[in-house]
Amino acid sequence: MNIRSFPVLGQKSIIYLRKFGFRSFVSKVYIYTKNRFQRSRDNISYAKFLKLERVNVKKIEKEISGFKYTPLISFVIPTYNTPLNFLFEAIDSIKSQVYSNWEVIIYDDGSSSKATIDALRNLNEENIKVYFSNKNGGISKATNLAVLKAKGEFIAFLDHDDTISSDALFEVVKALNKDRNIDYIYSDEDKLNERGERVDPFFKPDFSLYLLLTCMYITHFRVVRKSLFKKIGGYKSIYDGAQDWDFALRLYSMGGNIFHIPKVLYHWRMSPSSTAQSNSGAKNYALVRQKNLIIDFLKRSNIKGAVSDGFWKGSWKVFFSIMRNPSVEIIIPIKDNVAYLKKCISSIIKKSTYTNYHITIVNNNSEKGETFKYLKKISQDPKVKVVDYNKKFNYSRVNNIGAKFSNSDYLLFLNSDTEVITPGWIEEMLSLAQRKDVGAVGPLLLYKDEIVQHAGVIVGLGGVAGHSHRGFLYPSNGHGGAITSIRNYSAVTAACLLVARNKFQKVGGFDEEYDVVYSDVDICLKLNEKGLGTVYTPYARLFHYESKTRGKQKYENNHDIDIFVKRWKNLIENGDPYYNSNLTLSKEDFSFRKV
């Protein structure tokens, strides 16, 4: 086929055709087309989803009557030449709250619009107070001054043109009744389009530091303990436009207790001047401040690192400086399939820019002469050694044996049916794995046609565990930017998993009670229990031909499933904290539940 016969193809398409062939190209075009129409289908599905989420006022009122703790919550709303229809919609959404112990503090930041000023002066209601500034001082200053006027124990932040659901405060106080030590609350959100329709929901994970260092995913709805807001010093004017992001990171540094409500309580208006639009271009001035606030976080945390542009505008990449050039042992279990092993080893040696590594190949019951011939040849490389283990295959045991034959600082477990794409893959994973609060680190794995195979593991998918965004087109961002963001997950796959040796030993390595599957998810969860979070990075990318290592045998087995489900029953039933209860457990595409 002559690709020049396709004059409409872009340069990227032509490169892809040459690299992967016509069949893969057609497959990718199909998925691209499918994803292009996904947004409109999502909006239709979301409309159906909302019918299941209607507020039951009588039920909520009954529950509120049983609350032992009913704190006053103060909304603070800075205004500046606000469109009156939007402002009144915002205020009406507060008035609609089923929980009634609230007040509103509006602080006008020197509006020049007479209509805005006149309307604010006419807001003569007992629990709505309006204050005026003679000049514009910026959103941080206006917010701080509004907080000084607030009487509530907690401050709720509401932009002057957005709205909240009628059960927003109820959900907040419900959480506080369960845990009085909560300092900072955020929720899921959606957007209001120009027709006033609710679209584009963002169902967020529970608190993820590494996602917060990538983007301000918390955004709205934010409720903070007033005493802590003051103690931290409120908002900083040098970060106007990104002040809430800076505050969230400072609150984290102070040890604030951050809580997530997995429910859409905030409706973010899409308008030409709003960052709720599809990109951050409406407020480009904030981008410099975003980068600076992350740099400041690293400095005050005594963390050496660099901040650079992320995959999309408004996202950032933090690279933590690698300390002391640690050694890495790449452990690769094999049984024949030498063609894949050759490709894997070749890609490591030719592409890797990190040099302080060695490779241990664990040969488990290989039978073919070509395999032994290659192993003999490759073992002459001083970086490579071969360990024979000729007993019955057990995935955990094979990897544990590989670990025992290494003295390296870090262990990188790798399937032989993988191929390195990004030269800096080891550095990207090491950057995160060396962090004191991190256990396992995993990369983005793609099928050969560059479709996502793994972007983190979610516990509970399919009743056990599954891969985030499997089948998505790369480089699409995924739900809330999940594919292209460094972020916490509950687990990653050991098809490529990096962990510090001492942390690996701390939890006893892979559990050999598992025969084939789920021991990688299991070890991540054990590390999590030790306070060592699992982190996924899209900046390390490999191809994964999936299950070539052991041939075509069926990997699912009831023995491993039964062990996993029994051991992690509570997590499966309560829900993965880095997923969201509003999303389906039957598919890996982050679609809505019950729709």
Are 536 and 397 contained in the same domain? yes
Confidence of residue 9 (pLDDT cuts 50, 70, 90): very low
Res. 8: pLDDT tops 60: no
Verify that 458 and 401 share a domain, yes or no. yes
Answer yes or no: do 553 and 407 share one domain.
yes
DSSP per residue, 272-284:
TT-TTSSSSGGGT
Of residues 13 and 425, the one with the higher pLDDT is 425
- The answer to which of 86-100, 275-289, 452-466 has the lowest mean pLDDT is 275-289
Residue where the block lists tokens 């592409």: 351
Residues 486 and 352 in one domain: yes
- 192-210 b/e (C-beta count within 10 Å ≥ 16 → b): beeeeebbbbbbbbbbbbb
Domain stops at, among 240, 257, 279: 279
Given a contact cutoff of 8 angstroms between Cβ atoms, the answer to whether 215 and 309 are in contact is: no
- The number of angstroms, rounded, from the C-alpha of 21 to the middle of its chain's C-alpha atoms is 33
* Distance, CA of 41 to CA of 64 (rounded, Å): 37
In a domain, 475, yes or no: yes
Q: Would residue 373 count as lying in a domain?
A: yes
Residues 204, 274: Cα–Cα separation, whole Å: 20
Residue 250's nearest CA partner among 260, 258, 261 is 258
**CA–CA gap between residue 273 and residue 159 (Å, rounded):** 13
Residue whose pair of structure tokens reads 């308008």 in the numeric block: 271
Both 214 and 153 in one domain: the answer is yes
| Pair (212, 150) in one structural domain | yes
Beta carbons within 8 Å of 289's beta carbon, 6+ residues apart: 238, 239, 240, 241, 242
**Residue 157 included in any domain:** yes
How far apart CA 323 and CA 534 sit, in angstroms, is 20
Nearest-angstrom CA–CA distance, 25 and 16: 7
User: Of 279, 313, 348, which residue constitutes the final position of a domain?
Assistant: 279
| 419 pLDDT above the threshold of 50 | yes
The rounded distance, in Å, linking the Cα atoms of 388 and 402 is 10
The mean pLDDT value for 434-462 works out to 97
Task: Match 């963001």 to its residue by tokens.
Answer: 485
Q: What CATH number has the domain bearing residue 215?
A: 3.90.550.10
Lowest-pLDDT range of 22-26, 445-449, 518-522: 22-26
- Residue at 300 is within a domain: no
pLDDT tens sequence across 19-38: 555 555 555 554 555 454 44
**pLDDT above 60 for 3:** no
Within a domain: residue 165?
Answer: yes
As a whole number, mean pLDDT of residues 97-105 equals 98
Closest CA to 263 of 196, 195, 185: 185
Domain final residue pick, 249, 279, 309: 279
3-state DSSP call for residue 230?
helix
CA 142 to chain centre: 31
What is the residue range of 375's domain? 328-574
What value does the mean pLDDT of the chain take?
91
As a whole number, mean pLDDT of residues 265-277 equals: 73
Same domain as 419, residue 530: yes
Query: Which amino acid appears at position 56 of this protein?
Result: N
pTM over 0.85: yes
**pLDDT at position 279:** 46
Question: pLDDT-based confidence at 42, cuts 50/70/90?
Answer: low
Q: Is the pLDDT of residue 154 over 90?
A: yes
CB atoms within 10 A of CB 134: 6
Quote the CA–CA distance of 399 and 454 in Å, as a whole number.
20
Question: Does 361 map to a domain?
Answer: yes
254 and 350 together in one domain: no
Number of domains in the chain: 2
* pLDDT for the residue 270: 86
The Cα–Cα gap between 548 and 372 comes to: 18
Note whether 244 and 334 are same-domain residues. Answer: no
Indicate if 436 and 550 belong to the same structural domain: yes
- Same domain for 247 and 392, yes or no, is no
Q: Is residue 318 in some structural domain?
A: no
pLDDT tens for residues 173-201?
Answer: 999 999 999 999 999 999 999 998 999 99
Is residue 552 very low, low, confident or very high in pLDDT (cuts 50, 70, 90)? very low
Residue 247: which residues within 8 A CB-CB, separation 6 or more?
229, 232, 234, 235, 236
Q: Are residues 184 and 266 in the same domain?
A: yes
> 400 is written with which tokens?
């544990």
Give the model's pLDDT for residue 45: 82
Summarize the confidence of residues 434-457 as an average pLDDT: 97
Quickly state the pLDDT bin for 284 (edges 50, 70, 90).
confident
Please, which pLDDT band fits residue 275 given cuts at 50, 70 and 90? low
Please check whether residue 59 lies inside any domain of the structure. no
- As given in the structure block, the two tokens for residue 105 are 């503090």
Distance CA 83, CA 312 (A): 30
pLDDT top residue among 538 and 547: 538
